[in-house]
Structure 1
Amino acid sequence: MRGPRNQRGVALLIALLAVALAVILIASLLDRGELAYARTRNVLRGEQALAYAEGLEAYASQILMRDLAESPSLDSNNEAWAFPLPAQEVPGGHMTASMRDLNGCLNLNNLTLTDQPVWRERLENLLVALELDPSLAGAIVDWIDGDTHIDDEGGAEDNAYLAQAIPYRTGNRVFAHISELRLVRGISGAVYARLSPEVCALPPGTSINLNTASIAVLMSLDSRITAALAERIHQDGQARWTDLDNALNEAAQQNVQLSPSQRAGLGVTSSYFLARGEIMLDDVPFAFSSMLERVTGTARGGVHVLQRGRGEDDAARSLLDERGNLRAVP
């Protein structure tokens, strides 16, 4: 028969067990509550960030149309749209925005223009200027053309891709987004990091704006254009050429005359822009981008959104230093 001391020990164990169960239950309820709160907060902040992004998109459209009214015959990095929006305080955080002229890059979809083979030459010159293998142009052309003929230099059609560990076929269509380059044979992460800032995926038939083109894109116009000559045309990013002849006069003075075919697809105005919004709410970053087309001279004139995206290409950015040069890649 148990004595009072043994009974007190059992009662103490039961009390401790009850307390432990209560603590576990309360902790579980608190954890579920915090998780529900976090989910609700993230949903609300996500919707808030989306509303801010749409506002930034509308603001960018107004800036572009105002710029068109002020200077319809040229676009340059000296205009209002090219200056970043300073950080703006908003409930829960802040936001910034910037805009980039997509006519300042080489449109890969122009490679489908069979009546203007100059775009293939420009792509090869661009690869050389970036110290990349020019034969990559063949693989890029084969990716977007609609035939099964393998390009003589560096080309690759379905058979090359179907033989890989994860098989797939060529696109056989224009690029919908520049990130598709990563599917092309030979375009490694390091190559993509160097090439992607200089190229874009726009509707075929666009031109290159010599006022906003980079040094590498200017060098792609002719193999004789050196980095020094491109710098003179670029004018440290502040070029404001009023017409094509003035822009190419610097090259002509160095005995680099562009033929009529080489001058095709060149200009000093722009129609396509990439607007980016960086929004920070409760220390959570949200990144948005919108591809905008500014249409003039038609019944549907105005600014139209062609594409929207979320997030950033951090994988490519991480391979570049603060000057845009390729970091050492193991």
Structure 2
Amino acid sequence: MTKNNSGAALIIVLFVVALAATLAVEMSSRMMVLVNKNSILQEHQQAKWYGYAAEALAKQALIQTKKDDKEIVNLKQPWAQEEATFPVEGGTISGQISDLQACLNLNAFRAKPNANSADKLPEIHGVFLRLLDKLDEVESLPLENSQEELADTLLDWLDKDDNRRPEGAEEDEYLSREIPYLTANHFLASISELRTIKGFNPLIVERLLPYICIIPGSDLFEINVNTILPEQAHLLAALLATDTEIAEQILSEREPEGWSDIDKFISDANEKLPKKLKKDNKQFVVNSEYFQLIANTTFAESRFRMTTMMKIKDNKVSILARKFGGDVDE
């Protein structure tokens, strides 16, 4: 073999070795990526299972509450404890349960109007208008038009017909947009749907959040006066058609265990209200069936958030809806 041939062979050998080394490094890098990806997926899955564990604990808290007293739900019971973080193997679990009957269920816009109602509107329509008015008194609402338009467009979005309310909006409004879409004419599934309705800009939704909620598939309009928080006094005032100061007084005099029955609440409220509540009032209750859990969990470097809506009846808890990730208002 000549020197030239020997040099060429050496170059080929070195090239093959370099190529093999490059391929080995590439394969090793890809393997590391796959290992890391698999590890992250496993961590996320474990954090998710911790979320289900929080859900199981919430169910037990609700069942125990009903076993202790099936007639009353109040803020002194096990379900209403403040959010706490519990250490678990490799991570943490925290959760907070709230009463979905301590806020304005917007799906009640689909309820049939009261038989004695002159305007043929669901009862929540007037309550919603009064709530908007009270929030506007504290700090002007960033409304694009009127409060009546906000209530009417929400009603048009939810109701079963295509008849436009005086200040509302039906399909012609939404079909004329750059990206057209139809009105739902059905229950809301999430608060985030409000952002698709005319007039409900992000600032309006943010102001409303402490007072509104969604009960999936239900037009229930029963407010538990034992679980309304003091900071929700505007909501109680709107429900009672009175001043916020009077609502604050009523809540401040509520016993820690709440009112024992609705007649006691009506009696106490009527001592302060200029317009007395009727004794057969169906709008207020002292019991609840619908609750929401917001669970936050961690495992290693993974974080997981789950929102669960539940109904408890006959000491059995059923899951109405789950949402993974995001914020509660999304």
**Shorter-normalised TM-score: what interval?**
0.7 to 0.9
Distance 1:187 1:303, change over 3 A: same
Q: For the residues of structure 2 that align with 1:137 and 1:239, how far apart are their CA atoms?
A: 34
Paired residues of 1:84 and 1:96 also in contact (CA < 8 A): no
How many residues of Structure 1 are paired with residues of Structure 2 in the alignment? 306
Distance 1:236 1:191, change over 3 A: farther
Selected match of 1:151 from 165, 171, 180: 165
Which segment drifts farther, 88-97 or 20-29? 20-29
Selected match of 1:209 from 215, 224, 229: 224
Q: For the residues of structure 2 that align with 1:90 and 1:26, how far apart are their CA atoms?
A: 40
Q: 1:240-270 deviations in whole A, cap 9, x for unaligned? A: 1222233344542333334439933211111
Report the 3-state secondary structure (helix = DSSP H, G, I; strand = E; otherwise coil) of the residue aligned with 2:209.
helix
Q: 1:21-49 deviations in whole A, cap 9, x for unaligned? A: 56643442333122211221232223322
| Deviation, structure 1 residue 285 | 1.0
- Where does residue 183 of structure 2 map in the other structure? 170
Q: 1:169-188 deviations in whole A, cap 9, x for unaligned? A: 10011112222111111111
Task: Give the letter for the 1:219 counterpart.
Answer: A
1:141 matched to 2:158:
no
- Where does residue 40 of structure 2 map in the other structure? 42
Q: For the residues of structure 1 that align with 2:280 and 2:20, how far apart are their CA atoms?
A: 80
Give matches, 1:15-34, under 5 Å. Answer: 21=19, 24-34=22-32
Q: For the residues of structure 2 that align with 1:118 and 1:141, how far apart are their CA atoms?
A: 11
Q: 1:83-124 deviations in whole A, cap 9, x for unaligned? A: 145322223211111111111011111122223332111111
TM-score, normalisation: structure 2: 0.81
Fraction of identical pairs, as percent = 28
| Deviation, structure 1 residue 233 | 2.7
Give matches, 1:1-330, under 5 Å. Answer: 21=19, 24-84=22-82, 86-116=84-114, 117-131=122-136, 132=141, 133=143, 134-135=147-148, 136-153=150-167, 155-202=168-215, 203-213=218-228, 214-226=232-244, 228-235=245-252, 240-260=258-278, 263-296=281-314, 301-313=315-327
Q: For the residues of structure 2 that align with 1:232 and 1:266, how far apart are their CA atoms?
A: 17
Paired residues of 1:222 and 1:258 also in contact (CA < 8 A): no
Paired residues of 2:93 and 2:295 also in contact (CA < 8 A): yes
**Which of structures 1 and 2 has the larger relative contact order (alpha carbons within 8 angstroms, sep 6+)?**
2
Q: 1:204-260 deviations in whole A, cap 9, x for unaligned? A: 23411112222232122133232x222223339957122223334454233333443
Q: CA RMSD in A?
A: 3.0
Report the 3-state secondary structure (helix = DSSP H, G, I; strand = E; otherwise coil) of the residue aligned with 1:197.
coil
TM-score, normalisation: structure 1: 0.81
Task: Give the letter for the 1:211 counterpart.
Answer: N
Q: For the residues of structure 1 that align with 2:11 and 2:264, how far apart are their CA atoms?
A: 95
Distance 1:210 1:25, change over 3 A: same
Paired residues of 1:229 and 1:250 also in contact (CA < 8 A): no
Task: Give the letter for the 1:256 counterpart.
Answer: P
Report the 3-state secondary structure (helix = DSSP H, G, I; strand = E; otherwise coil) of the residue aligned with 1:103.
coil
Report the 3-state secondary structure (helix = DSSP H, G, I; strand = E; otherwise coil) of the residue aligned with 1:190.
helix
- Where does residue 322 of structure 1 map in the other structure? none
Paired residues of 1:233 and 1:247 also in contact (CA < 8 A): no
Task: Give the letter for the 2:125 counterpart.
Answer: R
Q: 1:100-149 deviations in whole A, cap 9, x for unaligned? A: 11110111111222233321111111222232452211110000011121
Distance 1:239 1:156, change over 3 A: farther
Q: For the residues of structure 2 that align with 1:236 and 1:21, how far apart are their CA atoms?
A: 82
Task: Give the letter for the 1:245 counterpart.
Answer: D
Q: For the residues of structure 2 that align with 1:260 and 1:123, how far apart are their CA atoms?
A: 20
